[in-house]
Structure 1
């Protein structure tokens, strides 16, 4: 069935489109909570353990452009299979590590693999799904990853109970094996047009920068701010909870409830974007997230912080998939994979830079000042989207 037909049904390709991403997210979610603990167990200091955990993001950041080259050369499906196999090798290093730095190498490799896998999956979906359902596809892709990351720690809990911390990596290995096996077994998704496959002319980064520089500077910067907000919200909640005297169990409860709200909204958000335009979701998402962070320093206890975090989860949930959707809309047919790799590079810089900005402002002024400044970025992003985001997608 051609994806360009009006009766295209996303459910028919659900397993092929989203199954590997769900399993990959499950694998990452299984090991993320124990990375710092494993590093400490191997003798790393607290600062060293923090650096090792950060290697996931650093690896992803460094791999975005090479990932585009790999996906362009070998195809998206083979790139996903290769990323899953590379993750298994990385997990083997983590399991066999006897020093923090060997363990850190394994963690870094997982970040590299993640960039390849996610870029290949996004490119594949852009080609397979018609424009009138693109936002639903992108938001569902983001939603399945979130579900996997949320469920991963629970899936790993039984393994950890039986095997100790290493059980988390065995659980992750099973999930990655499933992701690679499913990517290998499922048929290729059908592209919408013959010219959209790997046979299309190759376009380099310099050409894309010259022809699409304005998009990168405007919408690219705005989506980088979105990424900064998302990365910072995971930091500010436990920090502010500790600041107002809440214990770790209470903080985890707040975070879990927020995550539940976040995960429930990805498909409705995509449907609204498809039917009414991207701005109908992007603008309220940024306004809600920005305002919530601005309000957080005024909370003084469990009830008020929970209320703010639930609203924050609502804002993030309705924004599920906006970075990928806007990037897909802006991407040209020729050179699409490279363009999306550059797009991910910009947004990942935002995700890495946000916590650095938060840390610097907190050190220079106060935690409340840092949180409110990050909230202000949400309002800036909302303004930028209002200025430059097309009311209707124009890409094919």
Structure 2
């Protein structure tokens, strides 16, 4: 299977659900900060709640690995869909303005982040094993690209729904997309070769002890790079709200930036396959830092869109790396 591997051979099973899962996330991401503000949060509190996405992902990463090993990739995808749907539904419960409403909303955001961790690991573990080394970067970056295509479409779908249903419209789009992703996963059997039931059991403690040098060097770099690129999910919607743009306009700007993000995944994968990851990671980090310098200069929708597009070009390459 490795010798005859083609990206299109896993399109329906791996990339289809990825795009729908991304669409579900993309519909919600731009409205997290405005929803928190609507519930009485200040700018700092809204940023903290938006950052709960990363907290949920971080907390769920190791359990996601254990879950995928025990129940398999397909069932893990279904668990991720259920958790994401639960998080979105919790976010829709409105207790009015106040700390309890914000606490409940934040818990829903944490679940959305946790679902993303479970889903991401389930698909990546399969592609890492089945793709040959000379195509692995392209296979994984295409997986990320499929998700980002969904993330690109999600804000536009959410913005269209908000024209008729207000902020709740974005959550309705998210629920519809994750239901479609779950339905597709249910119809697609586990991919052949996506793991082995006889694989040796390795504990987390033993893995950390054996690979501590990797985690202390490469792992630290990945941590810092991930922290930087994750800020786009928070900074763009928050700055849009700060300069008085509507949630619908903020979603459209986020979606335009998502198009740039999605266009970078395959070229970045080819560069990594040919020259190595550092040729993508280092320039992406420099461009990302520049985009943060541009953001405070954005006083309207046009400049904010430009800054968001620059940021997205870097996060797309960084995510692929």
TM-score normalised by length of structure 1:
0.68
**Inter-CA distance 18–253: structure 2 relative to 1 (3 Å threshold):** closer
Deviations 1:228-286 (A, max 9, x none): 3213456667889999xx87599988766554333212112112222333333334333
Residue 31, structure 1, aligned to residue 31, structure 2:
no
* 1:269–1:320 CA contact under 8 A, matched in 2: no
User: 181-190 or 63-72, which moves further after superposition?
Assistant: 181-190
* 2:167 match: 165
Where 1:319 maps in the other structure, the secondary structure is: helix
Displacement after TM superposition at 1:51 (Å): 3.8
* 2:155–2:252 CA contact under 8 A, matched in 1: no
Residue 14, structure 1, aligned to residue 16, structure 2:
no
* 1:269–1:281 CA contact under 8 A, matched in 2: yes
* 2:287–2:314 CA contact under 8 A, matched in 1: yes
Displacement after TM superposition at 1:118 (Å): 1.2
CA distance in 2, matches of 1:33, 1:286: 23
Residue 45, structure 1, aligned to residue 41, structure 2:
yes
1:84 corresponds, among 81, 84, 107, to 81
Deviations 1:91-125 (A, max 9, x none): 33333443513333333222222211111111122
**Inter-CA distance 267–299: structure 2 relative to 1 (3 Å threshold):** same
Residue 281, structure 1, aligned to residue 283, structure 2:
no
* 1:23–1:175 CA contact under 8 A, matched in 2: yes
* 2:183 match: 181
**Inter-CA distance 235–275: structure 2 relative to 1 (3 Å threshold):** same
Displacement after TM superposition at 1:28 (Å): 1.1
1:110 corresponds, among 112, 120, 126, to 112
Unaligned runs of 5+ in 1: 323-396
**Inter-CA distance 153–215: structure 2 relative to 1 (3 Å threshold):** same
Note the 1:251-266 alignment, pairs <5 A. 258-266=257-265
CA distance in 1, matches of 2:129, 2:294: 41
Where 2:212 maps in the other structure, the secondary structure is: helix
Displacement after TM superposition at 1:131 (Å): 1.5
* 2:142–2:266 CA contact under 8 A, matched in 1: yes
CA distance in 2, matches of 1:305, 1:76: 39
User: 130-139 or 231-240, which moves further after superposition?
Assistant: 231-240
**Inter-CA distance 50–289: structure 2 relative to 1 (3 Å threshold):** closer
Note the 1:190-229 alignment, pairs <5 A. 190-191=192-193, 196-229=195-228
* 1:141–1:321 CA contact under 8 A, matched in 2: no
User: 217-226 or 250-259, which moves further after superposition?
Assistant: 250-259
CA distance in 1, matches of 2:94, 2:76: 26
**Inter-CA distance 53–301: structure 2 relative to 1 (3 Å threshold):** closer
* 1:266–1:319 CA contact under 8 A, matched in 2: no
* 1:285–1:318 CA contact under 8 A, matched in 2: yes
Note the 1:1-396 alignment, pairs <5 A. 2=1, 4-5=2-3, 7-41=4-38, 43-46=39-42, 48-98=45-95, 100=101, 101-191=103-193, 196-232=195-231, 248=245, 258-290=257-289, 292-293=290-291, 296=294, 312-322=311-321
CA distance in 2, matches of 1:204, 1:189: 25
Displacement after TM superposition at 1:90 (Å): 2.7
When the two chains are superposed, the root-mean-square deviation of aligned CA atoms in Å is: 3.4
